[in-house]
Chain A
Amino acid sequence: MKFFMLIFKNLRRNLLRSILTSAGVMVLVFVITLIWSILGFLDVATSEKTSNFKGIVTEKWSIPSQMPFAYATTLENGAAREETDVKPMDSMTWQFFIGSTEKGKGFSLKTFVFAFCMEPRKMLTMMDELDSLQPGPRAELNEAIQKMEMNRQGIIIGQKRLAALEKKVGERIKIFGTNYRDLELECEIVGTLPLGRYDNNSFINRDYLNASLDAYKASKGKPHPLANKTMNLVWVKVPNKETFTKVSGQIDQSPMFTSPPVKIETASSGVSNFLAAYKDLLTIFRWILAPSIIATLTVVISNAISISVRERRKEMAILKVIGFQPNQIMFLVLGEAILLGVVAGSISSIGTYFFVNRVMGGIPFPIAFFSSFPVLDGALWWGAAIGFATSFAGSILPALSTRSIKVVDVFSKVA
């Protein structure tokens, strides 16, 4: 304990240097936390799950995928025809409706709406991050979903979007389609989502979109140009890899999907294929950016510690004279560096975790179809780990050098 106090006092003695070094550690750990969170999130998204995994059905060749809604039922059943065929445990369909609350205007943050049109109930079972809500928020969302089932014109809007649109739950909005030309949806806002979940997105009952497309045909005398291309994705949930392979075979062999043909892939391989174009960029993040930040951190700490060791050679010689062992002096130096690194690193990454997740609602880094990333739970210990590793690496040489301090240095005049 005494030993610890000595370390602490030493840090306090050159407060300026300790502050400068901690500030350096903090900002650098902050950036690494962000980078690792993004990479970690993408890693999870692209890593193959062993159970309960999801498959995505899309148009075979074209991107973006646009399929007729007539495919929906068959695909949701995994194209099962025979008694022996397997059906997915669960499924959902996605139709994207992109629009603006003002007619004829281009995109602006205040008017932009991006909605998933789907079966409302599936939000709780199939949507990532909504399927794992705490009981409280889950009940709230469930209530909104019930409203949406009763009133198919209901819309659930993420918190940030709701704020940007300057609307409240209970109000009505009109959305003018931009991908669906000349299609207007009139919705009643029946609820919102917990902060951090689909903050900028909205959810509309798919029945309403389909009914609107039918109404378009009735009034204009011809179907909407996208009427036959309205379904963008179908998700199916299967218990394991075997079932997935089976379902995949059923879909491939089904005679139903000829124009356009479809394919099924695991969610993770779908994501990783899509991210292939970002491969170099992510490689740069992972193998150039993050390591050079860590190296910079090590250098900054190492510099600070070697300076303080050099300044205190005489003092350390005195410690030796009064009986301290070389190892104890070495640990004094190491301890000082590590204490600083771990404390500053932890403050930074834990602070980032709470600030970014609670206040900012994620890291705003639009890449592929992800718009923001959560700071991962790992951030709670990353700071301490980075702080420990870099301060250890940075201080081990200066610390070792103290072992060779000679007692006669006490009497030398030039520091």
Chain B
Amino acid sequence: MKSYIDLVTETIDLYAWVLIPISFAFMALMMLFVYVARIPIGYNIRNLIVRYRTTLLTAVAFTMVIGVLTFMMGFINGLKKLTKSSGNPENVIVLSQGATDEGISNLAFESMGDIAQQDGVVRFNDEPLSSREVYLVVSLPIAEPQPNSPTRRLLQMRGLYDPRSSAKVHGFELFPGGNWFSEAGVRSSDDPNKQPQVEVVLGEGIARGLGSDRSEATRRTAKNPESLEVGDTIQLDTRELLVTGIMKTEGTTFDSEVWAKQSVIGPLLGKSNYTTLVLRAKSKEDAQKLEDYFSGKDPTNAFEKSQVNAMTETNYFKSLSQTNLQLLVGTMVVAAVMAFGGVMGVMNTMFAAISQRVRDIGMLRLLGFSRWRILVSFLLESLLIALLGGLIGCLIGYLFNGYKVTSIVGSGNGPGGKAVVFRIVVDWGVLGIGLMLSMLMGFFGGLLPALSAMRFKPLESLRG
């Protein structure tokens, strides 16, 4: 079931742009038919112009449907791109057995060394390159909540054993001017009565998010009104968090995370174990081997010291894309229903157009234009409306390209899952789907009326 859906979504991902040339090719084919049918295209276009109000109204209906569709698809696409680009196929993420989510994972200290010492893990300074992490979700009260908005923010924190190796495993760098937190993970204050500040490094997205939680007044005097900067602080209960760096995390789920020293925030937040161990394998193949080894796919060659659940990061993030699927299904239902409405609209238009032009049709038939030529001519007309409306709809959808939104990714229903910030991606594939749907709506909406036009008897039409 899952793999089938994967296959479909991946195919859509890779090949949906093909729908654009297909749509245009389809349109061109129709034009060719019209050319062969010898009914002047000008006849259809001028009729559309004469009935410009109906044409526009129908096209507007198409524009709305396609605009909403491309927008929603862009949203899902952005979410998908995010989960895709977050995973490094050479990384293996190790959680405790039974845990599919970092939130409920619990790794024993003792076993972590053993796990990392496997063949296939990259070595760095004679140590296996790995990242020991504790993933925590903190419900942070917003210091200066704006009216009518939440009073708390779910903050995703990641406590690290060693920030440098973690950064290397995940491949993140800091923006210039920033530093990783120190070995102690805290910075003493000059005021002896004050507790030391906890050093943290922020993802770009959360830096902006926390920045926007500040009140107007605070933002006006801040270093950067849009985002937190190095040197800014965050109040977490009685402790102050000091931002020492901002990571270049755009386009990944880590964008919404706050990183700190595990030995500081673990005890502070009541979670002393690690949740996650990420290993950097030498190659994709090695990563897959490690996944199989740890998860005991082959019972004769399986890791026995501790029962763990291991996945390549790519697979892990794929499992988080369940939310995408739910949204996709929802969007498809909405799109189908709106498309149906649009089809009803264009049918009305075309039936009316045809009933207005019964005499035209009769005359054309008398002059020797056969049934199929009439069919093609009227079908082209509804397709022209569809193309007009669809293209504008795609354009409107495209306006949202790159727009930043927040959502959540998760492995299904229930608490858990990660809040993420990402950009809406209206790419060629999305536009292709939009344009194709528009064409299909135009085709099906126009087919029935065109068939009815085709059946007119020339003489009766002239009398009518």
Direct contact between the two chains A and B in their complex (CB within 8 A): yes
Task: Give me the interface of A with B, judged by CB distance under 8 Å.
Answer: 16-17, 20-21, 23-24, 27-28, 30-31, 59-64, 178-179, 181, 225, 259-261, 263, 265, 269, 272-274, 276-281, 284, 288-289, 292-293, 295-297, 299-300, 302-304, 306-308, 310-311, 365-369, 371, 415
Whether the pair A27, B104 counts as a contact (CB closer than 8 A) is: no
Whether the pair B356, A31 counts as a contact (CB closer than 8 A) is: no
Partner of B348, one of A21, A181, A371: A21
Q: How distant is the Cα of A119 from the Cα of B151 in the complex, in angstroms?
A: 31
Q: Specify the chain B residue showing the minimal Cβ separation from A308.
A: B352
**Min CB gap A64→B, angstroms:** 5
Q: How distant is the Cα of A27 from the Cα of B415 in the complex, in angstroms?
A: 33
Whether the pair B65, A296 counts as a contact (CB closer than 8 A) is: yes
Whether the pair A63, B415 counts as a contact (CB closer than 8 A) is: yes
Q: Does B177 contact A (CB under 8 A)?
A: no
**Min CB gap B152→A, angstroms:** 4
Interface centre among B98, B104, B352 (most CB of A within 10 A): B352
Query: CB-CB < 8 A to A280: which residues of B?
Result: 405-407
**Min CB gap B156→A, angstroms:** 9
19 contacts between A and B (CB under 8 A): A20-B347, A20-B351, A23-B344, A59-B270, A63-B415, A64-B415, A263-B139, A273-B150, A273-B152, A277-B407, A277-B417, A281-B407, A284-B71, A288-B71, A289-B334, A299-B345, A303-B58, A303-B61, A307-B54
Q: A63-B139, A277-B154, A277-B419 are in contact. Are A31 and B334 (CB under 8 A)?
A: yes
Query: CB-CB < 8 A to A293: which residues of B?
Result: 64, 68, 334, 338, 341
Query: CB-CB < 8 A to B314: which residues of A?
Result: none
Q: A64-B103, A276-B154 are in contact. Are A303 and B355 (CB under 8 A)?
A: no
Query: CB-CB < 8 A to A307: which residues of B?
Result: 54, 348-349, 352
Whether the pair A311, B355 counts as a contact (CB closer than 8 A) is: yes
Q: Does B414 contact A (CB under 8 A)?
A: yes
Q: A302-B57, A307-B349 are in contact. Are A61 and B138 (CB under 8 A)?
A: yes
Q: How distant is the Cα of A183 from the Cα of B193 in the complex, in angstroms?
A: 48
Q: How distant is the Cα of A137 from the Cα of B448 in the complex, in angstroms?
A: 51
Q: How distant is the Cα of A259 from the Cα of B97 in the complex, in angstroms?
A: 25
Interface centre among B103, B150, B348, B356 (most CB of A within 10 A): B348
Whether the pair B349, A62 counts as a contact (CB closer than 8 A) is: no
Ranked nearest first, the 5 interchain pairs of A and B with the lowest CB-CB distance are A24-B344, A277-B419, A260-B270, A63-B137, A307-B352
Q: How distant is the Cα of A295 from the Cα of B57 in the complex, in angstroms?
A: 11
Q: Does B217 contact A (CB under 8 A)?
A: no
**Min CB gap A22→B, angstroms:** 9
Whether the pair B345, A24 counts as a contact (CB closer than 8 A) is: yes
Q: Does B412 contact A (CB under 8 A)?
A: yes
Query: CB-CB < 8 A to A64: which residues of B?
Result: 103-104, 415-416
**Min CB gap A179→B, angstroms:** 7
Whether the pair B60, A17 counts as a contact (CB closer than 8 A) is: no
Q: How distant is the Cα of A265 from the Cα of B153 in the complex, in angstroms?
A: 13
Q: Does B293 contact A (CB under 8 A)?
A: no
Whether the pair A31, B338 counts as a contact (CB closer than 8 A) is: yes
Query: CB-CB < 8 A to B98: which residues of A?
Result: 178-179, 181
Q: Specify the chain B residue showing the minimal Cβ separation from A38.
A: B330
**Min CB gap A406→B, angstroms:** 19
Whether the pair A296, B151 counts as a contact (CB closer than 8 A) is: no
Query: CB-CB < 8 A to A296: which residues of B?
Result: 61, 64-65, 338, 341-342, 345
Query: CB-CB < 8 A to B407: which residues of A?
Result: 277-278, 280-281
Query: CB-CB < 8 A to A292: which residues of B?
Result: 64, 67-68, 338
Query: CB-CB < 8 A to B65: which residues of A?
Result: 296
Whether the pair A17, B154 counts as a contact (CB closer than 8 A) is: no
Q: How distant is the Cα of A350 from the Cα of B97 in the complex, in angstroms?
A: 48
Q: Specify the chain A residue showing the minimal Cβ separation from B412.
A: A366
Q: Does B408 contact A (CB under 8 A)?
A: yes
Q: How distant is the Cα of A191 from the Cα of B408 in the complex, in angstroms?
A: 36
Query: CB-CB < 8 A to A277: which residues of B?
Result: 154, 406-408, 417, 419
Whether the pair A300, B330 counts as a contact (CB closer than 8 A) is: no
**Min CB gap A178→B, angstroms:** 6
Chain B, residues 375-408, CB within 8 Å of chain A (1/0): the string is 0000000000000000000000000000001111
Q: Does B75 contact A (CB under 8 A)?
A: yes
Whether the pair A61, B269 counts as a contact (CB closer than 8 A) is: yes
Whether the pair A16, B406 counts as a contact (CB closer than 8 A) is: no
Q: Specify the chain B residue showing the minimal Cβ separation from A278.
A: B408
Q: Does B53 contact A (CB under 8 A)?
A: yes
Whether the pair B330, A365 counts as a contact (CB closer than 8 A) is: yes
Whether the pair B341, A288 counts as a contact (CB closer than 8 A) is: no
Q: Specify the chain B residue showing the minimal Cβ separation from A296.
A: B64
Query: CB-CB < 8 A to B405: which residues of A?
Result: 280-281, 284
Whether the pair B344, A369 counts as a contact (CB closer than 8 A) is: no
**Min CB gap A139→B, angstroms:** 31
**Min CB gap A366→B, angstroms:** 4
Partner of B151, one of A17, A260, A273, A306: A273
Interface centre among B138, B150, B356 (most CB of A within 10 A): B150
Q: How distant is the Cα of A280 from the Cα of B405 in the complex, in angstroms?
A: 6
Whether the pair A276, B355 counts as a contact (CB closer than 8 A) is: no
**Min CB gap B178→A, angstroms:** 25
Query: CB-CB < 8 A to A178: which residues of B?
Result: 98
Q: Does B337 contact A (CB under 8 A)?
A: yes
Query: CB-CB < 8 A to B137: which residues of A?
Result: 62-63
Partner of B337, one of A28, A259, A371: A28
Q: A31-B338, A279-B406, A371-B413 are in contact. Are A17 and B348 (CB under 8 A)?
A: yes
Q: How distant is the Cα of A300 from the Cα of B348 in the complex, in angstroms?
A: 9
Q: Does B295 contact A (CB under 8 A)?
A: no
Query: CB-CB < 8 A to A62: which residues of B?
Result: 136-138, 269-271
Q: A21-B348, A277-B154, A311-B355 are in contact. Are A300 and B138 (CB under 8 A)?
A: no
Whether the pair B57, A303 counts as a contact (CB closer than 8 A) is: yes
Q: Specify the chain B residue showing the minimal Cβ separation from A294.
A: B64
Partner of A269, one of B136, B151, B270, B340: B151
Whether the pair B68, A289 counts as a contact (CB closer than 8 A) is: yes
Q: Does B283 contact A (CB under 8 A)?
A: no
Q: A62-B270, A280-B405 are in contact. Are A20 and B344 (CB under 8 A)?
A: yes
Q: Specify the chain A residue showing the minimal Cβ separation from B342.
A: A296
Q: How distant is the Cα of A46 from the Cα of B344 in the complex, in angstroms?
A: 38
Q: Does B106 contact A (CB under 8 A)?
A: yes
Q: Does B195 contact A (CB under 8 A)?
A: no
Known: A265-B152, A273-B139. 10 other contacts (CB 8 A): A17-B348, A20-B351, A21-B348, A31-B337, A61-B139, A63-B415, A181-B97, A273-B152, A367-B326, A369-B414
Q: How distant is the Cα of A306 from the Cα of B52 in the complex, in angstroms?
A: 12
